[in-house]
Structure 1
Amino acid sequence: MRVTHATVVDGDVCTVRMAGDVDMSEVEGVEAWLRAAVDTSGCGTVVVDLSDTRFLDSMGIAGLVRAQDHARAHGVLLRCVNVQPWVLRVFQVAGVADHLDIA
């Protein structure tokens, strides 16, 4: 399933809600959305809502880590929310749970 997103800015928080499968065929788009949220929203926090994420492979994880690094380099907090238990387990197994800001 193709991944889609919706972006909402509320004050100093930009929320990017993703739905679908974040895999190698979609990671470029996901990274672009998150970088744009960091670079153009003017927000201090970018929230990545993963409540409707059905699949996340290693390329998707790498894309989130790169987006996290990009946000940090620009003084923006990037936080993952509504992380499904299976996604959290994937983050833990991949060794990135401590690198990502997960609420």
Structure 2
Amino acid sequence: MNLAQIEIAVDKEMVQRSLDNMVRDYTRPRLLLCDIDELKRITCMSPSSLERHILHDPRVKQHERRVGERGKRYWIYEPVEKAILEIIDELE
């Protein structure tokens, strides 16, 4: 009887990145909308800085929603999060 020998190569860095991504996705709260207070919290920026650098950008503006004509502003969380990261990279 012949025994087969099997070798498995594992890229430890790729496995670590995958695990890190899974943990980050699992532990990150799932938000549908965010308001200016949440944007302040996640960016550590003041409302005036958010207005000046982030909120008037068309990539963010397109995801803005308002309840009523003069109501509170909300933003769709996931696309705005991605847009903010792009904008911040461009500000450097």
Q: Do these two structures clear the TM 0.5 threshold for a shared fold by scoring above it? A: no
The structure in which a higher percent of residues are strand is 1
Q: What TM-score does the superposition give when structure 2 sets the normalisation length? A: 0.25
The structure in which a higher percent of residues are helix is 2
Q: What TM-score does the superposition give when structure 1 sets the normalisation length? A: 0.24
User: Which one has the largest radius of gyration?
Assistant: 2
